[in-house]
Structure 1
Amino acid sequence: MFAIHARYRGRERRRAELVRNSAQALSTLPGVGEFSVLGVEDIAATIDTPSATCDTTMALLSHGDWAVAIGVAPTDEQALNLARTTLGAHARAGQVKVGIRRQKEAAQDVAGAFLMLAHILAKRTPEGREATSLMRSGYNQNEAAAELEISKQAMSQRLQAAGWQAELAGWRLAVRLLEQADAKTK
């Protein structure tokens, strides 16, 4: 089982409202359980699959103001507890910590994959975020270019500059590592 515990680390004045709205939005992602709001800054949920875990983590990293912990354990409750304790009190925005029951090295590998992904996301321009968001939503390059009213070549250039291929490779790596870790916890 998978769980995410995230803490808002931004400077929004109406942080409680932002945290509630984020919890509601993330709860609509496929394979994601309902995010609970824990206090003013924290949210947590169980997640069904490695890919949904990666999608949710990427959404939080894309925002830029969340510290994230992923827990992988045999039960929902164990995964949630592991994510909560892994996050710790001093987690920083853009940081992903991973706790995997009895698999310290695997946890470090997953955290490393997300470190690379966070680096890619942090370097994106607004145009790059817009282009990759459409691709992540299932559009092909031609459809995304039409949606943005740009040429296919311009779309290709935006995706290249945004590191889209590196994001895909990192996402696949993180999914595989989470699958392997989950199999070993059972």
Structure 2
Amino acid sequence: MIVLTIDQRGSTRAEDRVPEVLERLGAWSHGRAGTAVPFARTVGDEVQGVLDGSPDGALLAVDLTLALLRDQGWSVGIGVGPVEHPLPEVSRDGRGPAFYRARDAVERAKTRSRGTSVAVEGSASAAGAKRAEEVESLLRLLGAVRARRSPRGWEAVDLLSGLDDRPGRQKIAAQSLAVSEQAMSQRVRAALWQEEEAVRPLAVRLLTELDGQDELDGQDEPGPDEPDEPVHDDDARDELRGTGTP
């Protein structure tokens, strides 16, 4: 499962934005698969929700994280791993490694600059730590690219994102903005939108794989009656016959 813990930046000097972000999270998630426990206030200026570990849930996690980073008013901690079942009605009653990891992640995210304030925690194994680092690096890179996007770039990207992916949509967007197709193309290139769209699926795939890492780690551990190292057949036969090397 994927737990998102979201904390308002600079809340001691600003108004409470939790009601606003909850409304936006609901709108962004509406009609999409992947939500296991809806987002809700946990304590103070913090919001938390649970997404499933499927590709749909991972895609939603990436999209929500990038939308929050664009706002630059939130720190996002992503905890990935098992949770206790049955799932609670509200996330603040949840238990399990994914919740604890999200807590550690959001504390790290708070130390990051606006636009890149995200951290990811997964399994403590070497493979899990590496995969979490990869997801985190990609999300921070995407956040940095988006933070440097100009208002005109965002105008073009937002318009294109709302159109069906089919030939001619850039021409339609150009007409809507009353600019030439060449000018629209220049905006899109400067915004690095196509590059962002190419990287997003990689972040989703790595996040999905990270969700299964705890199970893989468990498979790698020897069982109670399983030797740490395999015994070769010849050695076993010699031992049974009493002819093995003492």
TM-score by length of 2: 0.67
**Which structure is higher in RCO with an 8 Å CA cutoff and minimum separation 6?**
1
Identity %: 32
Is 1:106–1:177's contact at 8 Å kept on the other side of the alignment? yes
Could you report, residue by residue, the CA deviation over 1:4-35 in whole angstroms, capped at 9, with x for unpaired residues? 1111214796531x221112211222234522
Following TM superposition, the consecutive aligned residue runs of length 4 or more in structure 1 with deviations greater than 6 angstroms are: none
Q: Does 1:52 align with 2:56?
A: no
RMSD over aligned CA atoms reads: 2.3
Shift of 1:152: 2.5
Is 1:45–1:80's contact at 8 Å kept on the other side of the alignment? no
Is 1:73–1:182's contact at 8 Å kept on the other side of the alignment? yes
Q: Does 1:65 align with 2:73?
A: yes
Could you report, residue by residue, the CA deviation over 1:93-152 in whole angstroms, capped at 9, with x for unpaired residues? 332110112311111111110121111011111111122223333443233333333332
**2:137 is matched with which residue: 107, 112, 120?**
112
Shift of 1:166: 2.1
For structure 1, the residue ranges without an aligned partner over 5 or more in a row are none
Is 1:8–1:65's contact at 8 Å kept on the other side of the alignment? yes
Partner SS state of residue 121, structure 1 = helix
Equivalent residue number for residue 37 of structure 1:
41
Shift of 1:59: 0.3
Q: Partner letter of residue 72 of structure 2?
A: G
Q: Does 1:87 align with 2:106?
A: yes
For structure 2, the residue ranges without an aligned partner over 5 or more in a row are 88-93, 216-246
Q: Does 1:133 align with 2:123?
A: no
Cα distance in 2, alignment partners of residues 98 and 38 from structure 1: 19
Shift of 1:177: 0.7
TM-score by length of 1: 0.86
